[in-house]
Amino acid sequence: MSADHLPSEFEVLIVGTGLPESIIAAACSRIGQKVLHVDRSAYYGGNWASFTFSGLLSWIEEHKQEARNKDEVKEWKDKIQEGEEAILLNTADKTITNVEVFCFASQDSEDNIQEEGVLQLKHDSSVTAPGTEEDGGSSEDCPGQQIQATVINTVESSPSEDPVRSDSQASAQATDDAPSTQEENHGNLCSAESDKQESGVTEHVSASPASECTDGKKKKITYSQIVKEGRRFNVDLTSKLLYAKGSLVDLLIKSNVSRYAEFKNVTRILTYQNGKVEQVPCSRADVFASKQLTVVEKRMLMKFLTFCMDYQQHPEEYLDFKDHTFVEFLKMKKLTANLQHFVHHSISMVSDTAKTTKGLRATQNFLQCLGHYGNTPFLFPLYGNGEIPQCFCRMCAVFGGIYCLRHAVQCLVVDKETKRCKAVIDTSGMRISCKHLIVEDSYVADEQRKGDQHRQISRAVLVTDKSLLKAESDQQVTLERLEVEYMNWTIFYLVHLTCPSSGTAKEDLSLVVSRLFSENVDADEKVLWALYFNMRDSSVAERSSYNLPCNVYVCSGPDSTLGSDHSIKQAESIFGQLFPDEEFCPPAPNPEDVIYDGDGAEAENAGFGAPLEPEHNKPEEGAVPEQENEKAMTETEKNTTVTPVSLATCDNSTEQDAE
Amino acid sequence: MALSRSLCFKHGRLKVRTTEEQAEEKRKERENKMKICLASKEACFEKRKSNVLDEEGLELTKQLLGGNPDFATLWNFRREIFQHFEKEKSPEELQALLEKELSFLEACLRVNPKSYGTWYHRGWVLDHMPSPDWARELELCNKLLQQDERNFHCWDYRRLIVSRSEVSCSEELEFTFKLISSNFSNYSSWHYRSTLLPRVHPDTCQGASRAHEGVLLTEYELVRNAFFTDPNDQSAWFYYRWLLGRADREETVSCLYVSREGQRLVLSFSRPVNVLSPSAELVLFVDSLPLMVKWRTSHPKLKHSALWICDLPTGTINEACSEHSFKIHWRNGVVQRECVLYRGRSESWCRDSATDQQLFRSDLSVEKSTVLQSELDSCTQLQEMEPENKWCVLTIILLMRALDPLGYEKDTLQYFKTLKAADPMRSAYFDDLRSKFVIENAILKMEYAETRVVDLSKKDVTALYHLDQLLLVTHMNLSSNRLRSLTAQVSMLQCLEVLEADDNMLEDVEGLCGLPRLEEVSLRNNCIAKIADLRPLASCPKLAILNLQGNPVTKVTDFQSELALLLPGVKDLIA
């Protein structure tokens, strides 16, 4: 919506479209509150967003440049009335640092590389769409050349990296949290025939990694190919998974927001042990089929996991070890080294220092999530994590919430007497009054913070041409500290690495990358393209760490854990403070039960439509580049064999009837 | 703002239909539906009555069956219509119609995947299609079995498709492997596997129902993975038991016995048969000439028996002849057995011995017995980890019996104790199973010793087995066991002379009936209460000594005289 037509009065104003903000927006709108939801970016999700490859390249550009002064900002001082004072907000995002890009794929002579099928026009229109960022046009009107230049630069700089330095950094980092290696095998989400023929690679609809690999070898993948195929995958800024029985899945089902999204089950979990990447047997079927375990180990593992399922019922088994670490407990249980590794790093995923009960609880949680949607406890949104905030936004819009992207807030207007925030003034100089204000942490100016409460997350996104399972490395180092999320497309594999930062992302993660992949161009498995960046983790900040009016609430950005529990908890708690007597996200009614003011035609289009086409009813009419891409994706998706998991209907594993 | 629209908010609430409104609407809808259904049903029946077989009939039944696929009459009507079309329409038209029928059936299966009528009709349609697409049907089975791997309707249908379309057994074997890998608690898959294996890898020595030994070995490994992963899942154990078993013994005459004195001939078969059935084809040749005889079982209660007796007409056995040959043709001469009775011998027999035939253990090659030994080791290991698991203990016992029944006798008995403790609900079953093994061992020991005496005393036996194997036994000791009855099968001990069955809990002696050579019976300390319970003994002509001490029956008034009346031949009654 163009800012000119915005109403000037709202009950709840929400700044930032990350996960917690979007959940609060949906919850408020659902109970009939008048909600305005804005974001400074042209896309939904903030640091939770997912991009196509070219979208990611634009994002990189944006975050490589220094935050510039917004000199075009309209004057706001005249909007402040007597008895009021202003609190300035950040209009630029400073949460992403140390962005580094490396390209190892061969460059070819094509001058103008861009995603196939993406209309140049769309980029342009998105740039000229009503917004406030004056720099958009120059950076985006010819993305191909820009990207090319970037890549050449970084390739030149890559040999200068000091292996010794990165070594020490990574080992220091090895004392931190967040173990586990996960792999996601997404099968073939896309299989557009025309693209395949042009690039000369044989199309294989088989999801088996082996056949994928032979495909990859047939032809060296060039950078232009990645860009061309870039529309086929979405890259998450924040790499997260949904626990099948976790709070996010519960909320999605409870609120009926799940109907807007589709999910895939993570098919296998890998771990790196003794220099090898192995599959972790976590379900009964996995244990049965596993070739790495002896039958005795199978029994031990199953016995231990069965115990963990209801460990509270058997206090005698663990109470003596309550004050010992989980690792010691596993040793006491006489599990073999192999099994200890699996349980500790891949199933419980707790740190070395975690106590027995914490490890048991984590293991129990993992096991309880198994079998609901498949063989692993994890789900993943079909079009990336960026889907989830958008789904909540959509729910908000369905119940009357108003959306405005590329719309930043300059300052809060605070009543000097009540010390409450009465209104905000946006970047177009308009004054919008509100009763409650929710802002994402990155919008809060440093002056309003009491000390720096932030941690950092190190992230790496790798595009590779080979599955991790086939990867072999002769180094005897373990990779327990990192999360590797992993998906494969027809010819590319995407690897996500996440860990709490101790240095820059490159320093933290490059050793792991070199362990997993040989960066030698001639090697069989290689990284084609790599992106490193640090993201601010504001999840530790508490309400008392901000100097803000009492009716202003701050949501944190993504944290480094695997699930999204923190965000859900935060959203629910903020909603509870706003409306203590209201239910949090009650189920949305069935479309046919909603009574509309207008005629029936309108009712049919109420946004409760089939979840298969989530993009057609996006709660925003402004041209966002992803929107177009995802629409195309939905269309190709229909021709494939992928059967997406639907949350509401998939829980049939428990009701098998006996013959 | 594509999605901001005016919803009806009432006091800030979205207005939603109330449950009563919804319920009322549903009720009306149901009423309407019922009316339509009843009307179409009437119309269908009317049409069928007047033999109107047209497309309208298809349409009407389709509506009804779509809602309720278990209406068998309507499926029949549909088949009648299609049969009528078969005569009327061209193959192309018929093909198109039946293809439509298949997609209708698919929709029905989606609603109710376990309707007998739908599945049967689908098979019928494919059999009547000019050009059926079997591959597609197989794919359908795959999908439905993915949804519910235990849908036996679908399994049945799959077997039908496989047999019609000549899908290779090895492909099907691979399919069962896939299903087992995703969830091994699947009896259907394991069972299908047991039927496929012998066909893919037939065993040339043991006949059609068994798989080749080498293949069985890899199967052991597969199933071992399953029961180590979840030892409480029965499906894997059952399959394992099938692997350990062996082919049914061929039907044969295992023993031919002739008694000069009794002028009788007794046949023992490898399994119970009925020689009186018209198809039996049992012919006796005496000195190469066919002889018409009357066959009977050892006890009037037994109709189907492993033991058949005939009395030879007087003069058949002649003292003057130096020898008589007896020959049996069974099943048209496919099975033959012969024995010769020489002058001066009171009896003669020809038989297969239990030890030679390895009657009570699997037929093992050396290679396989080392494999079984390692199976036994891994099961013992599992048992140490899971001392409570009865399936594991039971399998250990079976393995021990397969390997060396006598050598493992002590261990086996010990494991039976564990087994009973682990599953007290089935202790009686385990007792009987144990008795069976004990008796098998006793028979083996007797044969090794080449005697006709079997001692089963103090073995805690609860039931008697393999009595047909004891045809030649003259002395049997069953004392100090837990027997409650001497069943009709005991009458198979046709040579029995002395029976000791003291200290049991016998309430009757039903099987001590018509035993021609029985002379002495000791039944001390049992529970025989009525004189009438001893009536079977009256048919044993030679019975002279009977011990009934410690039985309630001895307290009956006029016991002595009543018994003398019943058993006049008994000279020596101890009571």
Search chain A and give the residue with CA nearest B146. A653
| Per-residue model confidence (pLDDT) at position A72 | 54
Start-to-end CA span in chain B (Å)? 108
Which positions in chain A touch B24 (Cβ < 8 Å)?
none
**Whether B332 contacts chain A with CB within 8 A:** no
Is residue A18 less than 8 Å (CB to CB) from chain B? no
Closest CB to B14 among A32, A289, A598: A32
> By the CB < 8 Å criterion, does A601 face chain B?
no
Low-confidence ranges of chain B (pLDDT < 50): 1-13
* Contact call for B6 and A401, based on CB within 8 A: no
- pLDDT digits over A489-501, tens only? 345 677 888 888 8
A621–B1 CB contact, under 8 Å: yes
Count of beta carbons in the 10 Å neighbourhood of residue B54: 11
Residues A179, A345 contacting (CB under 8 angstroms): yes
| CA-to-CA separations, B73 to A280, B41, B65, B217, in angstroms, rounded | 54, 11, 10, 50
Whole-number pLDDT of residue B153: 93
Q: What is the pLDDT of residue A401?
A: 92
Among A36, A260, A295, A403, most B C-beta atoms within 10 A, so best to mutate, is A295
* Dihedral over Cα of A396, A398, A401, A402: its sign: positive
- What is the per-residue pLDDT for B118? 93
CA B209, CA B213: separation in Å to the nearest integer? Answer: 12
Q: Burial-class residue A159 by CB neighbours within 10 Å (0-12, 13-18, 19+).
A: exposed
Across the interface, whether the CB atoms of B6 and A296 are under 8 A apart is answered: no
The answer to which of A4-8, A596-600, B78-82 has the lowest mean pLDDT is A596-600
Residue A353's pLDDT is 85
Distance of CA A283 to the CA centre of its chain: 25
| Cβ of residue A33 closer than 8 Å to a chain B Cβ | yes
Query: Do the Cβ atoms of B2 and A299 come within 8 Å?
Result: no
Write out chain B residues lying below 8 Å of A435, CB-based: none
- Residue A619: list chain B partners with CB under 8 A: 1-4
- At residue A113, the pLDDT reads 46
CB contact under 8 A, B7 and A303: no
Q: Tell me, what's the pLDDT at B472? A: 93
CA distance A215 to chain B (A): 25
Helices (H), A189-294: 193-199, 209-218, 223-229, 247-254, 284-289
For residues A69 and A132, the answer to whether their CB atoms sit within 8 Å is no
Hey, are the CB atoms on B8 and A284 less than 8 Å from each other?
no
Between the alpha carbon of residue B107 and those of residues A71, A72, A638, B121, the distances in Å are 64, 62, 21, 13
pLDDT band, very low/low/confident/very high, at A121 (cuts 50, 70, 90):
very low
Residue A400 CB contacts under 8 Å (≥ 6 apart), including other chains: A29, A32, A34, A35, B4, B5, B7, B9
**Cβ neighbours, 10 Å, residue A261:** 22
Q: What is the pLDDT of residue A644?
A: 41
Contact B150 A302 (CB under 8 A): no
Q: What is the pLDDT of residue A468?
A: 61
**Cβ–Cβ gap A594/B7 under 8 Å:** yes
Cβ contacts below 8 Å, chain A against chain B, sum to 111
pLDDT at site B367: 58
* B 99-158: CB under 8 A from A: 147-150, 152
Burial B560-569 (b: 16+ CB within 10 A, else e): eeebeeebee
Q: Give contacts of A295 with chain B, Cβ < 8 Å.
A: 224-225, 228, 378, 382
Enumerate the residues of chain B whose CB falls inside 8 A of the CB of residue A621.
Answer: 1-2
- Give contacts of A657 with chain B, Cβ < 8 Å: 148, 150
Would you say residue A616 has pLDDT above 70? no
pLDDT at B4: 28
Flag whether residue B229 sits within 8 Å of chain A, measured between CB atoms.
yes
The span from the CA of A185 to the CA of A500, in Å, is 24
Residue B1 to residue A402, Cβ atoms within 8 A: yes
Taking the Cβ of residue A37 and every Cβ of chain B, the question of whether any pair is shorter than 8 Å is answered with: no
B24 touches chain A (CB under 8 A): no
Reply yes or no on whether the pLDDT at A619 is more than 50: no
Interface contact B7-A597, CB threshold 8 A: yes
Chain B nearest-CA residue for A616? B2
Angstroms from B234 CA to nearest CA on chain A = 13
Give B221→chain A minimum CA distance, Å. Answer: 9
The pLDDT score that the predictor gives to residue A115 is 45
Q: Is the pLDDT of residue A343 over 80?
A: yes
Q: For B378, which of A295, A621, A658 is closest by C-beta distance?
A: A295
Residue B572: alpha-carbon gap to chain centroid:
45
The nearest alpha carbon in chain A to B187 belongs to A659
Contact between B150 and A659 using a beta-carbon 8 Å cutoff: yes
As to burial, measured by CB atoms within 10 angstroms (0-12 exposed, 13-18 middle, 19+ buried), residue A392 is buried
Which of B433, B428, B432, B431 is closest to B401 using CA atoms? B433
Is B182 near chain A, with CB under 8 Å?
yes
Contact criterion met (CB < 8 Å) for B8 and A400: no
pLDDT number for residue A296? 87
pLDDT at A268: 75
pLDDT of the residue at A474: 26
Mutate to test the interface with B, among A288, A305, A391 (most CBs of B within 10 A): A288
Tokens matching residue B460 = 């805690």
Chain A residues with CB-CB distance to B150 below 8 A: 656-659
B5 with A394: Cβ contact below 8 A: no
- Which chain B positions have a beta carbon within 8 Å of A401's beta carbon? 4
Q: Which of A438-447, A638-647, B402-411 has the lowest mean pLDDT?
A: A638-647
Of all residues in chain A, the percent with pLDDT exceeding 70 is 64
Residue of chain B whose alpha carbon sits nearest to that of A654: B148
Q: Which residue of A has its CA nearest to B381?
A: A296
A612 or B323, greater pLDDT:
B323
Closest CA of chain B from A593, distance in Å? 5
Residue A645 confidence (pLDDT) above 80: no
- Using the Cβ of B425 and the Cβ atoms of chain A, whether some distance falls under 8 Å is answered with no
Q: Return left, alpha or beta for A26; rule: phi > 0 is left, psi -120 to 50 is alpha, else beta.
A: alpha
Beta bridge partners of B574: B547
DSSP A644: P
Average pLDDT, chain A: 69
Choose the weakest-confidence range: A110-119, A297-306, A407-416. Answer: A110-119
A619 to B2: CB separation less than 8 angstroms, yes or no: yes
Position A639 scores a pLDDT of: 32
* Cβ under 8 Å to A: B residues 350-389: 378, 381-382, 385-386
Q: Which residues pair with A484 in a beta bridge?
A: A497
Task: Give the model's confidence band at A165: pLDDT under 50 very low, under 70 low, under 90 confident, else very high.
Answer: very low
pLDDT for position A334: 86
State residue A235's pLDDT score: 87
What is the model's pLDDT at position A462?
A: 83
Q: What token pair was written down for A394?
A: 């959509």
The minimal CB distance from A288 to the residues B22, B148, B184 is found for B184
H or E element in which residue A411 lies: strand A409-415
Return the residue in B6, B7, B147, B155 with the most chain A beta carbons within 10 A, the one to mutate for interface testing: B7
Lowest-confidence pick of A36-45, A173-182, B562-571: A173-182
